[in-house]
Amino acid sequence: MTENCESEKPSKIAKLDDITNDEFVSKISPSFETFEGFQVKRILKESPESRSIVVEGSFSGDNSVASVSSSIVILEKTHFTEKEVHGILTKSTALQCLFNNDVYYNFLCHPPIQLNEVKATLIHPASEKHIEKFSTRKSFLIEETALIYQSVTLLHIRESKFDLQWVYNILEHKKEADRIVYEDLDPDCGFILLPDLKWDCRSTSNLYLTGIVCKRDIKSIRDLTSEHLPLLKNIFDKGSASITKKYGLDKSEQRIYLHYQPSYYHLHIHFTSLQFTPPGCNVERAHLLSNVIRNIELKSSYYQESSLDFLAFEGDPLLKKYHQYIGLSSDGDY
Amino acid sequence: MTENCESEKPSKIAKLDDITNDEFVSKISPSFETFEGFQVKRILKESPESRSIVVEGSFSGDNSVASVSSSIVILEKTHFTEKEVHGILTKSTALQCLFNNDVYYNFLCHPPIQLNEVKATLIHPASEKHIEKFSTRKSFLIEETALIYQSVTLLHIRESKFDLQWVYNILEHKKEADRIVYEDLDPDCGFILLPDLKWDCRSTSNLYLTGIVCKRDIKSIRDLTSEHLPLLKNIFDKGSASITKKYGLDKSEQRIYLHYQPSYYHLHIHFTSLQFTPPGCNVERAHLLSNVIRNIELKSSYYQESSLDFLAFEGDPLLKKYHQYIGLSSDGDY
């Protein structure tokens, strides 16, 4: 069936491009019509909130090179379409009543197979790196003092040499120029606003745009002082106004925030619909731009002097460096 | 089938107890075996992230009193159980390949009916209040200045006379005494820590406890000054330590935060597992206790003087009062 597949690669998966699987790849591309022969080895990760589960296993009885290697299956329940709802709420759906009190009923339903699909992502064969990437990683909240920022984080940023060429390509109109929603190319206060790759642009209910500042010397909120207030206010006002104009979402319906730590060290601002809660809008990672502006107005050096909490994951090089710095073991016992 | 239903009432639904449905309630409790005769009227709310949808409709061809009234159906995809996963990943599940590139495959799967259930909650008949409660409400981010707090919010809190008797019952050991995880009854720095009602206490992956302070004169973070630093640090240290001791979750694995606006105006602190993301931990509502302590250390009057953003929902009395105060219409155009 693979020949019927679309050729476009989802962006989320594209990030794994750099993983070399040559040693695993079967010469004959297998054709999956069912999960016949699949043996579950273990559950790597569960997300009850989003109804998804990641499983490691292998296909037995397959004589290809890949037969003994691991595979990863990510199972996700799909969201209801309006059409499916019309089909499910009929006599074709058997109900099993779990509970009734007055006007309230709870049922387990068994809708027709074709109205209740599951999305599966298969990585076959899967390397150790895939397995690591898709396994649950413990997370820890780190209190980064000003000293730890200078001694650990700043060195980490410099050593890691994060590739920002893709950001400069956008700022120089070499890439994604057709996606730009708003731009202000002022060298001090300018920024480019465009849809985030995580947004499918199909509905404003999950609206997600990113504002990338033109200035190249601001790594994160740690660098922001009163000198940057005109820049921050410019983004806050013009970014939100262009979203109101283009998508009809009032400023008070937008969540405008920065990440700390950010995923790349070139200052950028997130604009999402308040109706939508992407993973990065939690209090341990997000900082409302309005609040950042107020804190800098209170004290220009607020973000240089204050401790900041950030979330680090098991296996993250920054977490290891932090542990080394405070001279304790990396078992989370600090 | 209703006679087989369990009698326990889910706590989420229990909140609707006060709604009077006498005028609607059918004399004969209907027995639902399918959704036969259900007519979809409209979609009231969708939550793609949690794979749930709320539908308003009615049962036709039913001769009971309730036949012409509205019903609400909440459909939710269920999370995978490990047993189901073993059954789904077999030859019984038909696969439709959407995409293949190298080792990456995307499929739509059609597992056997009994391995892919949907949970349905039916409210039948449903009143206008039910429909309002289960409909999407627009939300707005409000910038509450110190003046607006004094002129609008504080008056609202005083007028609303929020009933705090249930809080005092806990503090006086009249209720929930058996649920207390830790207590420190010092009149200035004391607090009681107990599992939040939203936690099922079955696993630490969704751990959620609440620390309720003994002092009765602190409404919210707006009242906090340097005078309260010993109290806040006491809760931060002893609350987290008792969770580490009882549930094995290190302080760095806990999200410790306050809400603004809180749902009741007696100071309380939320302790959740970082692995778990309850709705109230978003940046527009949550304030990390560590950060609150640092801000007060920076400036004792930080929370009296600073503007604070808070989320208000359409229909919320506070939003109306805010709009009246700033003298604009309540259509969100401010």
- Which among B28, B44, B100, B277 is the top mutation candidate for probing chain A, defined by the most A β-carbons within 10 Å of its own β-carbon? B100
Residue B32 has its nearest CB partner, among A49, A73, A95, at: A95
Do residues B159 and B288 both lie within one domain? Answer: yes
Residue A33 has its nearest CB partner, among B95, B106, B126, at: B95
Yes or no, beta carbons of B100 and A2 under 8 Å apart: yes
Do residues B183 and B308 both lie within one domain? Answer: yes
- Quick check: A4 pLDDT over 50? no
User: Which is higher by pLDDT, B254 or A103?
Assistant: B254
- Residue whose pair of structure tokens reads 């527009």 in the numeric block: B284
Asked if B254 and B266 touch (Cβ cutoff 8 Å), the reply is no
Asked if A84 and A115 touch (Cβ cutoff 8 Å), the reply is yes
Asked if B109 and B95 touch (Cβ cutoff 8 Å), the reply is yes
CB pairs under 8 A between A and B: 358
Nearest CA in chain B to A278: B49
Q: What is the per-residue pLDDT across A256-268, written as a single tens digit (0 to 9) for each?
A: 999 999 999 999 9
- Which pLDDT does position A104 carry in this prediction? 87
- ipTM higher than the 0.90 cut: no
Nearest CA in chain A to B32: A95
CA distance A247 to chain B (A): 15
Tell me if A331 is assigned to some domain.
Answer: no
Residue B40 has its nearest CB partner, among A33, A85, A291, at: A85
CA atoms within 13 A on the CB side of A111: 23
Q: Give the strand pairing for A208-213 and A182-184.
A: unpaired
Q: What is the per-residue pLDDT across A192-244, written as a single tens digit (0 to 9) for each?
A: 999 998 787 877 878 999 999 999 999 999 999 999 999 999 999 999 999 99
Instruction: Determine if the peptide bond prior to B261 is cis (ω within 30°).
Output: yes
- List, in sequence order, the alpha helices (H) in B89-182: 128-133, 146-148, 154-160, 165-171
CA distance B239 to chain A (A): 16
User: Which is higher by pLDDT, B3 or A326?
Assistant: A326
Q: What is the per-residue pLDDT across A134-193, written as a single tens digit (0 to 9) for each?
A: 998 889 999 999 999 999 999 999 988 778 999 999 999 999 899 999 999 999 999 999
Residue A202 lies in domain = 139-325
Residues 83-102 of B with CB under 8 A from A: 85-86, 88-102
Do residues B123 and B171 both lie within one domain? Answer: no
CA distance A202 to chain B (A): 13
- Average pLDDT of chain A? 86
A135 near B CB under 8 A: no
Q: For the domain that residue A223 is a member of, what is the CATH number?
A: 3.30.428.10
Identify the bridge partners of residue B97 per DSSP, sorted by sequence position: B107
Chain B residues touching A12 at Cβ < 8 A = none
Tell me if B86 is assigned to some domain.
Answer: no
3-state secondary structure string across A279-316: HHHECCCEEEHHHHHHHHHHCCCHHHHCCEEEEEECCC
Do residues B51 and B172 both lie within one domain? Answer: no
Do residues B214 and B277 both lie within one domain? Answer: yes
Do residues B171 and B128 both lie within one domain? Answer: no
To the query of whether residue A86 is one of the catalytic residues in this protein, the response is no
Residue A104 has its nearest CB partner, among B13, B101, B257, at: B13
Residue A252 has its nearest CB partner, among B111, B250, B334, at: B334
| Binding-site residue positions of A for substrate | 166, 176, 196, 198, 259-270
Tell me if B56 is assigned to some domain.
Answer: yes
Yes or no, beta carbons of A7 and B101 under 8 Å apart: yes
Residues B101, A133: Cα–Cα separation, whole Å = 18
Q: Which of A228, A268, A287, A323 is catalytic?
A: A268
Q: What is the per-residue pLDDT across A30-72, written as a single tens digit (0 to 9) for each?
A: 689 999 999 999 999 988 778 899 999 999 865 554 456 899 9
- Which pLDDT does position A79 carry in this prediction? 87
Yes or no, beta carbons of A34 and B94 under 8 Å apart: yes
- Which pLDDT does position B188 carry in this prediction? 97
B9 near A CB under 8 A: yes
Residue B86 has its nearest CB partner, among A40, A122, A281, at: A40
3-state secondary structure string across A209-226: EEEEECCCCCCCHHHCCH
Residue B146 main-chain phi, psi, to 5 deg: -60, -40
Q: Give the CA distances from residue B88 to residues A100, A226, B115, B235, in Å, rounded to whole numbers and listed in that order.
A: 30, 57, 7, 46
Do residues A214 and A93 both lie within one domain? Answer: no
Burial of B51: CB neighbours in 10 Å, binned 0-12, 13-18, 19+: buried
- Which pLDDT does position B63 carry in this prediction? 52
Do residues A26 and A95 both lie within one domain? Answer: no
Q: What DSSP designation does A9 have?
A: P
Chain B residues touching A73 at Cβ < 8 A = 89
Q: For the domain that residue B127 is a member of, what is the CATH number?
A: 3.30.200
Per the structure, the count of domains in chain B is 2
Nearest CA to B253 out of B277, B272, B270 is that of B272
Instruction: Determine if the peptide bond prior to A324 is cis (ω within 30°).
Output: no
**Segments of chain B scoring below 50 in pLDDT:** 1-29, 65-66, 329-334
Do residues A149 and A206 both lie within one domain? Answer: yes
| Binding-site residue positions of A | 166, 176, 196, 198, 259-270
Q: Which of B124, B156, B228, B268 is catalytic?
A: B268
Do residues B168 and B71 both lie within one domain? Answer: no
Residues 152-191 of A with CB under 8 A from B: none
- Which among A283, A292, A318 is the top mutation candidate for probing chain B, defined by the most B β-carbons within 10 Å of its own β-carbon? A283
- Which pLDDT does position B68 carry in this prediction? 66
Q: How many residues does chain B have?
A: 334
Yes or no, beta carbons of A255 and B283 under 8 Å apart: yes
Tell me if A61 is assigned to some domain.
Answer: yes
Do residues A168 and A87 both lie within one domain? Answer: no
Tell me if B94 is assigned to some domain.
Answer: no
- Per-residue DSSP letters for A154-173? HHHHHHHT---HHHHHHHTT
Asked if B231 and B188 touch (Cβ cutoff 8 Å), the reply is yes
Chain B residues touching A207 at Cβ < 8 A = none
Tell me if A215 is assigned to some domain.
Answer: yes
Tell me if A94 is assigned to some domain.
Answer: yes
Chain A residues touching B106 at Cβ < 8 A = 5, 10, 119-122
- Which pLDDT does position B278 carry in this prediction? 87
| Binding-site residue positions of B for substrate | 166, 176, 196, 198, 259-270
Do residues B203 and B290 both lie within one domain? Answer: yes
- Report which secondary-structure segment, H or E, holds A76: strand A71-77
Tell me if B191 is assigned to some domain.
Answer: yes
A 10 A CB-CB count for A259 gives 19
- Which among A29, A80, A273, A319 is the top mutation candidate for probing chain B, defined by the most B β-carbons within 10 Å of its own β-carbon? A80
